[in-house]
Structure 1
């Protein structure tokens, strides 16, 4: 099976849909930033559910290519949640786990959610094996949406998570650790860049007060990383990261390294210790 063709010019296919701004400027306080982020997360979870419903229909119809695309859309929607997913506990682990560390790997019944569906789609599994997994995923997403109002992202966590999103990109996606057969690490990394930008936008005013001009510097570095990732696409299709030309991989790694180095400076700026 090949990775779905995704055009960088078509956000509905290749990257998370960007929300329309709901206020004239960035949040003025950390409490405002957290409230704005909770609203953003709720929107992304609604998108996630829509993509999973499309995934279920495509799997049920035996349309493997469309199912792969729907899986990518769903996984990118989850990646776009960004700073919040660490607050979801067991539900977050059920929605997007990895098989590493599970005895029996992909055969372990505790391996569920988006990564389990990825494994099945790219290893030739059909509706009989995947529909129960998708139904459980839908139930977990519904449970998370119901629980979301009481699931808080701590104000102190927001600056930390701004850095951690791309740390996860480096550790889980570009290392190949999280991949279950799709080879779409770069597509997921691209969604992580968008998620990082969202958190930055919500912290922008506060961060600029602490270090004038720093958000603009981060904007530039995130834009450079996004461009390096987008440049790896061939004819509108994502390429398996392991098969990307060395020079292009080096460009992605260099841009990621620069962004991570700068983002690591953010949490200490907000520290009150």
Structure 2
């Protein structure tokens, strides 16, 4: 649901923290479904629940960089870890993704799920006291999709699911949430700019959704060259526009 435009940056930050709290609640619900599916050896059900949980985390968007070690524990990758996917520090949603798409079952996955549940509970408790630099909201409005380009569409973050397009879509939704909150402030700095961003985000969503068949997400590497070009072109256009946002606020 679109956020009500905020009159001040302090209002925008407060409203976004409330939004994030709701996303974390939803994520925990999906995690419960995921745990039950893993315990019942329902791999397709567990994979579907994992995707919904990971999409919730992507929609947190503009706040995850403020979470410190707890944020790093929820969805890190295995790149850079000495032991790779077998490293004890590889945990959270990406660890669960790896197991679900590499034949692991309850003995390997339930401990990872239970640890993630504890980390999410700790993060939810920490959220009310979290402070966010006013400069972070404009910066993250650009960084959400920049991270999507770097981590999803490059394949760097994938642990076997191939769900780069589904996760990129969630990042677009997170970007739209931040834009909706900053709309009034942005309009005052550059008239007509929020409307342009709306159009570009809508165009990106359109080409993303055109890749979905019968409600099923196609792995990014299985898309045609033309489909990938359309997504990358639309993403590039919106990133070029979003890159102006931090500079606009820095001169306010």
TM-score by length of 2: 0.98
2:106 is aligned with 1:154:
no
Provide the alpha-carbon RMSD of the alignment. 1.0
- In structure 2, the gaps of 5 or more residues are none
Deviation at 1:234, TM superposition (A): 2.0
| Matched position secondary structure for 1:139 | helix
Matched residues in 1 for 2:214 and 2:37: separation? 24
2:119 is aligned with 1:137:
no
Deviation at 1:75, TM superposition (A): 0.1
2:174 is aligned with 1:195:
yes
- Residue of structure 2 in register with 1:163 after alignment: 142
Deviation at 1:151, TM superposition (A): 1.5
- Residue of structure 2 in register with 1:41 after alignment: 20
Deviating beyond 4 angstroms after TM superposition, the runs of 4 or more aligned structure 1 residues are: none
- Residue of structure 1 in register with 2:55 after alignment: 76
Q: Choose the corresponding residue for 2:71, options 92, 95, 107.
A: 92
- Residue of structure 1 in register with 2:201 after alignment: 222
Could you report, residue by residue, the CA deviation over 1:219-266 in whole angstroms, capped at 9, with x for unpaired residues?
A: 000000011111111222111101101111100000000000000000
Deviation at 1:104, TM superposition (A): 1.5
Matched residues in 1 for 2:114 and 2:155: separation? 27
- Residue of structure 2 in register with 1:212 after alignment: 191
2:151 is aligned with 1:172:
yes
Matched residues in 2 for 1:54 and 1:40: separation? 22
2:215 is aligned with 1:236:
yes
- Residue of structure 2 in register with 1:105 after alignment: 84
Q: What aligned pairs does 1:2-13 form with structure 2 within 5 A after superposition?
A: none
| Matched position secondary structure for 1:182 | coil
Matched residues in 2 for 1:93 and 1:213: separation? 37
Q: How many residues get paired?
A: 252
Matched residues in 1 for 2:229 and 2:251: separation? 37
- Residue of structure 2 in register with 1:127 after alignment: 106
Matched residues in 2 for 1:185 and 1:220: separation? 22
Q: Choose the corresponding residue for 1:254, options 220, 233, 250.
A: 233
